[in-house]
Structures are given as C-alpha cells and as structure tokens.
C-alpha cells in the first residue's frame, strides 16, 4: 500500500476524502484565532472529535465502526490532579470537546435538512 497525500483541490481524491477535508477546513475556519496561528494545536482535537462523531447514515462514529467501542478521553478532576493548572486544563478540554461535539451534531442536522429539501 502506498500513501498518497491529498488536498481538497486534488482531482484524484474520492468523495469521502473531499468531504472530510472540507469538514476539517470548516472546523479550522471556525475555531482558529484571528491570526490563524493556533491551527496546529487544534488539529488533533478536531480530528478526534470528527472521528468520534456519529455518522448520519450509519449512526455510529468511524472510531466505533473500526474498533467496536467508543473512545472517551474524559478525565475526572476529582481524582486529585497534581496542580490546579492541570485541573483547569482538563476541565477546559472537556468543555471544548463537548462544544465541538455539539457543533458537529448541529452541522450534521443542518446538512441533512438542506439535503432533504
């Protein structure tokens, strides 16, 4: 198997790859700072959220379809983290993850509504 990198403008990309690239591009446009200097820090979280979001046609996430279990990165601060800064970071990460999950669901619903009409 040979690895081929693709972009949204690559003519050999299949429909699913194009859709995934467009979705990640939309995430970056929505959540990057004005200077667009933090996209590299957001990309792993956006990739995780995308892979953990349920697909509208199958009803399960792509991660679940491949591994047969749901991935969960929730860390519970009540287990006494070493510092308040770490606790704050974990809480913020959970909030961002939930926000991204909700935004993906809303975008999927809006796309389904527009496709059905």
Look at residue 13 and tell me if it is in a domain: no
Does residue 115 carry a pLDDT above 60?
yes
Residues with Cβ within 8 Å of residue 111, at least 6 apart in sequence: 56
Give the pLDDT score at 1: 58
Our count of domains for the chain comes to 1
What count of other Cβ atoms lies within 10 Å of the Cβ of residue 52? 19
Look at residue 68 and tell me if it is in a domain: yes
Summarised one tens digit per residue, pLDDT across range 7-30 is: 555 655 677 778 777 887 887 777
Given pLDDT bands bounded at 50, 70 and 90, which one contains residue 31? confident
Q: Does 82 or 48 have the greater pLDDT score? A: 48
Look at residue 12 and tell me if it is in a domain: no
């Amino acid at each position: 198997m040979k690895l081929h990198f693709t972009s949204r403008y690559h003519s050999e990309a299949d429909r699913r790859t194009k859709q995934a690239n467009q979705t990640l591009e939309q995430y970056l446009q929505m959540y990057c700072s004005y200077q667009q200097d933090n996209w590299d820090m957001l990309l792993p979280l956006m990739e995780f959220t995308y892979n953990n979001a349920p697909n509208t046609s199958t009803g399960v996430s792509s991660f679940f379809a491949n591994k047969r279990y749901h991935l969960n990165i929730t860390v519970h601060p009540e287990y006494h983290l070493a510092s308040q800064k770490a606790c704050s970071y974990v809480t913020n990460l959970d909030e961002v993850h939930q926000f991204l999950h909700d935004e993906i669901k809303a975008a999927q619903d809006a796309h389904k509504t527009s496709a059905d009409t």
